Amino acid sequence: RGDKERGDKERGDKERGDKERGDKERAGSGVPATSQEAKALLMDAEKRVSRLDWDGAKEKYELVAAGKFHRHRAYLGLAEVAFETKRADDAISYAKRAGDTPGARVLLGHAYYQKRDYATALQYYESVLRQNPNHTEAQNGAKAARDKLNGAGGGAGAGSVD
């Protein structure tokens, strides 16, 4: 009976040790284990965006996207970083993963505008405006895209999406 109890205890210790190691590895990787940790990383990323620290913001958004909390917000942040760093294809990929929200569609519009695909950009801006006709960023983007499509070149809103 003593050998069996000792074996059970050793197995239990091993299982607890494996679980603790897994928890530490996840924590060491920076991937958030809770919603609060994800929110804290998102806040840090947003501060970095405001300081134009694109690499730092990207790193924080990637950690959140790798987890299971607030992933859509992380992908939206990654799309913004990609757009701001002139990586339109990445911005499109991330924005599509961010969900079907006005913010994601505006970023899709911006990214297609950046690629000089003004017709597709206009479609995304107009899809936002159908839901919210007063969305200023979508209004400006739509005007800039229409100006480009009509050959006007550089309307007042054109600089807002370049």
More confident residue, 11 or 135: 135
Give the integer Cα–Cα distance in Å for 142 and 120. 10
pLDDT of residue 151: 86
Please say if the pLDDT value at position 24 is more than 50: no
Please say if the pLDDT value at position 56 is more than 80: yes
pLDDT digits (tens, 9 = 90+) for 26-55: 444 689 999 999 999 999 999 999 999 999
pLDDT of residue 64: 97
Query: Three-state SS for 111?
Result: helix
**pTM of the full predicted structure?**
0.75
pLDDT of residue 122: 98
pLDDT digits (tens, 9 = 90+) for 95-147: 999 999 999 999 999 999 999 999 999 999 999 999 999 999 999 999 999 99
C-alpha distances out from residue 119 to 64, 79, 133, Å: 33, 20, 19
Please report how the helices 54-66 and 35-50 are oriented relative to each other, as an axis angle in degrees rounded to 10: 160
> Please, which pLDDT band fits residue 76 given cuts at 50, 70 and 90?
very high
Q: What tokens appear for 40 in the block?
A: 């804290």
